[in-house]
Structure 1
């Protein structure tokens, strides 16, 4: 455990620069006293590590020093290669870069670990988009990624679902998110979410911006997803369902005398619920709301008449 922690301290200082003992302790989830002991151990091992006292102080590795790590364990090596997603990397224009990086990493691994990595890549393949997702082009993805990386403002013509369907926007791209095979850009000056494949035109501005210090991309996306789910579930329906329907709706199965259970499930809208419940056929009976029950009964009657003829 200690040797792994020493390597982690060294990597943190190499990648992030100066860090205080308290910052290292928080990152590694150990006490500050433990960090002090680990720093002494690194000193004893000949690592050119020095510290400065005071408010702006902290530990730092001598400029130009780099360590060659040969201590990757099997799980770490497998995870590194499994995390390399060739599709999204290629979309961002980084396909060849990823391949070169993996080649260099593989060459540096011991023969035993190379065998584990080869077996991992031959047995696991990640295909993120759903079965029925359209393979839609994203022509401005690399331009958006460049603007994100370089902090450049962009002007876009954007297609949205409501009128007017095409609008012009000035965006400060804070970050990119890949969700279920679809790219989203989070842009300021007040963070909003835009689908990159709905950008119709893009013009870079000769204007820079700075991402606010308080903005956290992962935290923003988590909150955005929670808000999105809350907006979808605007109502409820009381239903009587079979075990098959309970499984499809993620409802706890507690059957009554007629092998059905009554449950209250969230619905987005009457239109959406009508379409989704029809997929379950006779395995679901809507009790409330009455309007949804009547609409399903009317559709069922139309279907019965159609097939009877």
Structure 2
């Protein structure tokens, strides 16, 4: 067996070294840009105000949860957090229910001009939220400063419609015909057969939709004016005083605010990539 020339082996080692250096550089960038801020946020949340003033970066002397207790007990933070969870839950349920049924009908073309309705839904992706017409509409309907009105405004199919229609088109019509022969109605077929198969799409949709609802600040500022309806994002402003910001309790509050989305992502992570890929196969 002939041995490879030394120049070839050296060239291969250089290429492997370049690849390892590139991966290492990328890993360092990810750590500095994403992991370090989260770790520092948790570190600051364990500090006392005097510790933070002396050195914001230095590790806390002891792990203590006083800041977390102050956030939950001494402020209206828990009520605001509950409001956000309610807005998130009901807007998700309403959006996914309406979008799943509409997407199935459009993908199967069970209505005339299905493509027109599909384009109409997709137009919402490119159009910004018209705050003035929305304000006028809610005011006329008596739903201004009302959680029901806000939840209805957040019902936005958009990208979810695009993903679901694309996924439903990959499901063979032979299943539809078999269900019809067995006497299975459309709604029963949709909820007992199609939707259980669509878990990857639902997981991806929940993540994409929940981020927008949970982080919404402009919409809640405009349409919810009573403090008892404030979501958790608006509660963060109460940690900013007239002469400065109390950073350790604010860090604890920010970590609590971010936790639901982190847990949601961890719970649905095995479905997310497959759902987004499946939804983009056909359009």
| TM tier, smaller | under 0.3
| Relative contact order, higher structure (CA 8 A, sep 6+) | 2
Please, what TM-score do these two structures have when normalized by structure 2? Answer: 0.23
If you compute each CA radius of gyration, which structure gives the higher value, 1 or 2? 1
